[in-house]
Amino acid sequence: MIRYLTSLAVMLTALSLFAADEKNAGPAEPEGMQSIFNGKDLTGWDGDTRLWSVKDGVIRGETTKENAAKGNTFLIWKQGKTKDFELRITFRCNATNNSGIQYRSRHITEGKVRNKWVVRGYQHEIRNQNILPTVSGFIYDEGGKRGRMCLVGESAIWNENGKMLKKILLIDAPGYKKLFKLNDWNDVIIRAKGNHIQHYMNGKLILDCIDNHPKLALHDGILALQLHAGKPMWVEFKNIRIKHFD
C-alpha cells in the first residue's frame, strides 16, 4: 500500500507539472503577423549607422573601443506603434554587455540627451546569461523610476503603492538555465493588451505583469532595439514580426 501511494504521489506530481507547463506554453502564432525587417537593409528603421547594420540577413548592433556608443542608443522602428500587440523576435548576443527590446516607449529628443536615438519606456532585457535574476526577459523601466519592474519568474501587479507579487512562480532558476540557449539564438514573444504584459522565452511564459500604476503605466509608444553604453558588445536580431490587436 505504501509503495502504491508513493507511486500515486509521484504520478500526480508529474501530471501537475505537465499541466503547469501546458498552461504556461507560448501561444500559437496568430494569423496576420507583419514582418517588419526585410532581411536586406534597415528600411523602416532609424539608428546610428556607425553601430547598426545588416549582415548575413540579420540586424547587427556592435560597439568597439574605437567605435563606442555615446550613452545607450537605439535602433527605432519608424513605421508603427506598440499599443495592444504581439511581437515575435529572435536574438543572440555576447556576454560582455546587455541589450534590450523597447516597447510602449518614447523617443527623447529634447533636454540633455547624449545621442539622437535615446528611448525611454518598457524594456525586455537581453543578456547572454542564464543565472537568475540577471538574465534575458525581465522588464526594465529604461529611463524611468522603477528599475527592474518585474523579474523573470514573477507574476506581479503594480499599483500606486508599488509591486505586489502573486504566489505563482512561473519558472525557477534550474528551469531557466535549461530553457535559455547561451551563445545561440533565442525566441521571444512579447504580448501586451491593456495593462497586462507577458514575456515568453523559447515557447514558455517567464513573466506576467499587470501595470495598474495611475501615473507610470505605459499604454502606447514606439518599438526600438538597444545597444548599451560601456563595454564593447554585439547583438543580433532576426525574424521580427508584429501583430496589432483591436
> Could you tell me if residue 40 is inside a domain?
yes
How much is the pLDDT for 17?
44
How much is the pLDDT for 23?
76
Question: C-alpha angle 116/236/152, rounded to 5°?
Answer: 95
How much is the pLDDT for 42?
98
184-242 confidence digits (pLDDT tens): 999 999 999 999 999 999 999 999 999 999 999 999 999 999 999 999 999 999 999 99
> Could you tell me if residue 9 is inside a domain?
no
CA 55 – CA 59 distance, rounded (Å): 7
CA 81 – CA 34 distance, rounded (Å): 13
> Could you tell me if residue 12 is inside a domain?
no
> Could you tell me if residue 137 is inside a domain?
yes
Residue numbers in the chain where pLDDT is lower than 50: 10, 12-18
CB 233 within 8 A of CB 62: yes
CATH of the domain at 98: 2.60.120.560
Residues of 113-132 as b/e, b for ≥16 C-beta within 10 angstroms?
A: eeeebbbbbbbbbbbbbbeb
> Could you tell me if residue 221 is inside a domain?
yes
Range of the domain at 203: 30-244
**Number of separate domains in the chain:** 1
How much is the pLDDT for 7?
56
Q: Which residue type does 174 have?
A: P
The rounded Cα 180 to chain-centroid distance in angstroms is: 13
Tally of CB atoms within 10 A around 202: 16
> Could you tell me if residue 142 is inside a domain?
yes
How much is the pLDDT for 246?
82
CA 77 – CA 224 distance, rounded (Å): 6
- Pick from 31, 92, 5: which is nearest to 245 by CA? 31
CA 192 – CA 14 distance, rounded (Å): 31
> Could you tell me if residue 23 is inside a domain?
no
> Could you tell me if residue 87 is inside a domain?
yes
Q: What is the pTM of this model?
A: 0.90
How much is the pLDDT for 8?
54
How much is the pLDDT for 187?
98
How much is the pLDDT for 14?
42
